[in-house]
Structure 1
Amino acid sequence: MLINNLLVGKNIKLTSFKEEYLPTFETWYNNTGFLRLYDVVSAFPKSETELREMILDTRKSSDKYIFAIKTIQTDKIVGVTGFENILWNNGTATVYIGIGDNNFRGQGVGKEALALTLEFGFQELNFHRIQLTVLSYNKPAIALYEKLGFKKEGVYREFIHRDGKRHDMYLYGILRNEWNNII
């Protein structure tokens, strides 16, 4: 799925994360349902001030990128995506994505946004390998990653404790040549 216009797809675009998005981001970070899919840390709410610091830290970093996921039709922010733990000398990075607006889950937004993010990573940043982790109970995300060509590479057994149960965390990865075969 080669996207001809870098960071712009059919229905969504990836843009810089602006100060004006912080109130929306704060809403997501106060939604435990979102947090339990987005991160492995405890679903602890964050204030707009804490999130501002997190975004500033990302912008100052040489091993992280963050994008706002916005709809083309309404120019509304619906999620975030980006890279962290970039090892430039090895051409590797960890990708992340979160669709914060429930109305846009299951609508193909995540697939399009992740495809744009991967394209940016492989084509613009010259990565060789992109990886991610996902909790075993996040079945929709796992299906999405596999559809885009990610391969399950490992299991962190009983990694996280949620609601009185232990859950595995999976490691998925995709190499540039695998991505090239998909596009």
Structure 2
Amino acid sequence: MITLAPLRPEHVGHFYRWIRDPEVIEYSLSAFQTMTTEAQIDDWFARTLRDDSSLNLGVFRQGTNELLGYAGISGISRLNQSGEYFIFLGERACWGQGVGTEVTKQVLVLGFTQLHLNRIMLTVSEPNVGGVRAYEKAGFRVEGRLREACLRNGQFHDKLIMSVLKAEW
């Protein structure tokens, strides 16, 4: 279904289209809400590629090698053996097809086996029902709630804190 591989500078063009689509970025990074120019996206993308404390991978459709989004683990702490999972699927055509669950499972494998993490957490906007479902299918459990932590479309909503431990995986 998908393969994960390093992002390269030439992939930035996909993000121009994705970040300009309000539905695609609705539950994504707050930074995406304020990026309006290609220069801003270029700057963010270049910093992302240089970030040594994160695992940043492109999500590619198997067979066609089409870039669908990116995913990985940010804020990796070697001392605490933990990090924060993230996923951004910009191609709407892959939504609702199990891609998010598959990506999440593959990133967890890398986090627990190659990065030797003990705990991987995430935050997800509560209205993002598809995201919550994909994370639960991959093994994440809700461990808390950040009340009214996100403002989208003029309304506050809660963010859920979810995690999975290596021992549970």
What is the TM-score when the length of structure 2 is the normalising length? 0.93
Name the counterpart of 2:26.
36
Give the C-alpha shift of residue 12 in structure 1: 0.7
Match of 2:68 in 1: 78
Conservation of the 8 A alpha-carbon contact between 1:93 and 1:130: yes
Q: Which amino acid aligns with 2:160?
A: Y
> Does residue 137 of the first structure (1) align with residue 127 of the second (2)?
yes
Kindly indicate whether residue 150 of structure 2 is the aligned counterpart of residue 174 of structure 1. Answer: no
**Residue 91 of structure 1 corresponds to which residue in structure 2?**
81
Contact 1:80 1:99 in 2 (8 A): yes
> For the structure 1 residues 138 and 91, does the alpha-carbon distance in structure 2 shift closer, same or farther, using more than 3 Å as the test?
same
Report what 1:8 is aligned to: none
Corresponding residue pairs, total: 169
Q: Is the 8 A contact 1:64 1:84 kept in 2?
A: yes
Name 1:17's counterpart in structure 2: 7
List per-residue Cα deviations over 1:24-74 (Å, max 9, x = no partner). Answer: 111111111111122245722343333333233233333112111001121
Q: Does 1:161 align with 2:151?
A: yes
**Aligned counterpart, 1:113:** 103
Kindly indicate whether the alpha-carbon contact (under 8 Å) linking 2:9 and 2:46 is maintained by their aligned counterparts in 1: no
Instruction: Output the TM-score relative to the length of structure 1.
Output: 0.86
Whole-Å separation in 2 of the counterparts to 1:165 and 1:150: 26
Verify the 8 A CA contact 1:30 1:44 in the aligned structure 2: no
Structure 1 Cα separation of the partners of residues 32 and 146 of structure 2? 17
**1:83–1:94 CA contact under 8 A, matched in 2:** yes
What is the aligned-residue RMSD (CA, Å)? 1.5
**Contact 2:148–2:158 under 8 Å retained in 1:** yes
Structure 1 runs, 4 residues or longer, greater than 6 Å off: none
Is 1:150 aligned to 2:140, yes or no?
Answer: yes
2:115 aligned to which of 112, 115, 125: 125
Match of 1:52 in 2: 42
Aligned residues of 1:58 and 1:65 also touching (Cα < 8 A): no
Distance 1:176 1:33, change over 3 A: same
Q: Specify every segment of 5 or more residues in structure 1 that has no aligned partner in the other structure, as ranges.
A: 1-10
What SS class does the counterpart of residue 63 from structure 1 fall into? coil
**Residue 36 to residue 149, structure 1, CA distance change in 2 (3 Å):** same
SS at match of 1:143: helix
The letter for the 2-side match of 1:146 is E
Relative distance call for 1:163 and 1:149 in structure 2 (3 A) is same
Q: Distance in 2 between matches of 1:31 and 1:107?
A: 20
